[in-house]
Amino acid sequence: MRSALKRIDGVALSHPGRADGGDDLEEEEAAREGQDGSHAQPVQAADGVEVGPIRRNARTQRRGARLQPPRRGKIVIVRDGWPYIASALAVALIGVWLHFWPIGLVGLSLALFFAYFFRDPERAIPEDERAIVSPADGRVVALTKLDPNDPRSPTRLSIFLSPLDVHVNRAPMTGRIVELRHRPGRFLPAMRAEASVENEQTEIRIVGAHAELILKQIAGILARRIVCWKRPGDVVHRGERIGLIKFGSRTDLILPPNVLVLVRVGDRVRGGSTIVARIRE
């Protein structure tokens, strides 16, 4: 039976307990991954959010967590980036053909920038079935309860992506996408707290074996294009590529009460690799 939903600020999340579809996903997860049996103990609260004892960033994974090694040997560029690269190279070639070198230099510089921006590196993905990984590269800029007066309120974890960060979004946990909704809105700077609510965004609700969460792809003042490669009903695996936000943006995770957050404001995180929270036993 589905547990009662708690709706705050337009977001509904289940209280702790197994969500719909949990039986099938738990069996699939158990077949693919192992548990390490370790438990992190909370030591303090930040803005009403219980935080784990060890700072988690791109270089400090949870002790004992097994990682799927990344595949190496090639540099991948997201397919959405090739039109930008081709256009910039065309400008460069026109400049060369006209012997107008400034245009050629600008075009070549843009092509190199687009190739760097749309890079899609492989990542080492944790195998802990209760781990929730970062959905994006960037810096944690907010960690708050949706309702500060309710200790059982869901937690919002916000990550800011600068134009120099990898902009491919990844699934934070294994589960089934049960809802995908696009919400029109404003294009405020992604660093501002209001951007989480007022900006244009895509909400992706994922139900896993042990928890349910919402991933938000949020546009910014430069990011005017949100791309999601998945559809409702799709099963995604932890660290799997699910979409892209172009040219600076924000990614939010709405976490249920039964998780322990393992990052703090200011931490740098890497999509698909950094463990940002862990589902309690």
Catalytic residues: 249
Joined tokens for residue 74: 């090639």
What is Dmax (Cα atoms) for the chain?
Answer: 71
Of 38, 37, 40, the residue nearest 52 (C-alpha): 40
Length of the chain in terms of residues written: 281
Give the separation between CA 179 and CA 183, rounded to whole angstroms: 13
* Residue for token pair 């690799």: 273
58: left (phi over 0), alpha (psi -120 to 50) or beta: alpha
Q: CA-CA distance, 35 to 185, in Å (whole number)?
A: 41
